[in-house]
Amino acid sequence: MKKTGQGLRYRMSLLSVAGVLAVGATIRPEPADGFYARDDFSKVSKIDAHIHLSSADTTFIRQAVRDNFSLFTVNVDGKTYLEQRNLALAHVKQFPRRVAFATTFTVSNWNDPDWQQKTIADLRDSFAKGALAVKVWKGIGMELRDKDGSFVMIDDPRFDPVFDFMAKNKIPLISHQGEPKNCWLPVSDMTVGSAKLYFTRNPQHHMYLHPEYPSYEKHMAARDHMIEKHPNLIVIGAHLASLEWSVDEIAKRLDKYPNLAVDMASRIMYLQHQATTDWQKVRDFLIRYQDRILYATDRGNWEGVYDSNEALNRELHDTWVSDWTFLTTDQVMTHRHVVGEFKGVKLPRSVIDKIYRKNAERWIPGVAKLQ
C-alpha cells in the first residue's frame, strides 16, 4: 500500500502517570462548577493534540488563534519526513506559544544493518531541536516488509532499542497502527459514511478486498504486545487506538495498560455513531477515562485540498464548534457521516478541561508551554 496523504522543559514521571490513571478508574460525581455552554467555545483555551501543518501557509494557525486553540502538529514517515520537520520548526519559531510538534523516524532504510543507530541519532537531533513526541505510522504493518517479503509489525524486536531510548528520555510515542475496523468489512457493513465513501473510491486500500495483508486483529495484537513490552514508554494511541468502533474495547486497553492514553483524531464521529444507540455508555466512558483522552481532529492544511483559505477556515471552525457542541451540551445533533440523530454527551466542565487541554499537558511533556 502507498501512503494516502494525509531540551524538554516539562517532565512527567511514569509514577505520576500511574497516579493520574488510578484516579480515572471510577466515574466521578458531577462537579460543583457545572458545565460549559456552546457559547463558551472561544473563551476556553484548548489544544488540538493531533493535526498536520503540511504547508508554509499560516491560515490554519491564525484560525486556531481566533478559536483559542493551540496546535500539536504531527509528522509522518515518508519521502518528505525531514521537510515536514523543518516546516514544523519554522511554524514553532513563528508561533512559539501556539505550535509544538511531534517528529517521526523513517523506515525507508529498514533493512540497513545500522538502521537502529541512525534512527536514534536522528531522534536525538529532533529532540534537540524541540520535538516533544514521536509518531509511528500505519505503514508499519501495512507497507513495511522485510527482505523476505513478510510484513513488519510494530512489535518487531528491532524497534525495541528505539522505544527503550524514548522511554528512558520520557518521550511519548504517538502510535497509529492499522485502520478503522471498517477497513476490513464489506462496504455495506461499514458504520460511518466517510469510510464507505473513501473505500469505495479507493479499493486498493480496502483490506476486505486484500486478505493477503495482515488482519485487523493482527494489527491490534502487535500494538498491544508492543505496549506490554515497554511498560515505561508513554504511548498515545492515535485515532482512539484504532478501536474506534467500541468504547468497551478501548476501555479494556486503558484498564490493562497504565502507560496508554488515546487521542480522538478523526474518530469523534464513531463515538457519535455509538451514541445513537447507547448514549449513556459513551458518556460514562468519557467520564470514567477522563484522564486518558486527548482532544484531536487530524485536520491539516494539505495543498490542493481546499479551494481557498476561507474554505479551510470554515472547515476548521465548523469542525471545532461541532465537536465542542457534542462534548459540552446535550443538544440533539446530526452528522453527515452518521446515520440517525444523536445527543451531545454534556460532559462536566472539569472533564472538558482535561480532554481539551490538561491531558495533553500531562501526556506530552513540554506542551504546557502553549497558551
In this prediction, residue 79 has a pLDDT band, given cuts at 50, 70 and 90, of: confident
Give the chain's mean pLDDT.
Answer: 91
Q: Residue 37 corresponds to which cell in the numbers above?
A: 455552554
| Alpha-carbon dihedral 137, 140, 142, 145, rounded to 10 degrees | 150
All structural domains of the chain with their residue ranges: 14-32+46-270+282-303+349-369
The rounded percent of the chain whose pLDDT value lies above 70 is: 91
pLDDT in tens, 353-363: 999 999 999 99
In b/e form, how buried is each residue of 128-140, taking b as 16+ CB within 10 angstroms?
eebbbbbbbbbbb
CATH superfamily, with its number, for domain 14-32+46-270+282-303+349-369: Metal-dependent hydrolases (3.20.20.140)
Find the mean pLDDT for residues 49-57. Answer: 95
pTM over 0.85: yes
pLDDT in tens, 301-350: 987 788 898 999 999 999 999 999 999 999 999 999 999 999 999 999 99
In this prediction, residue 33 has a pLDDT band, given cuts at 50, 70 and 90, of: low
- Phi/psi at 195 (nearest 5 deg)? -65, -45
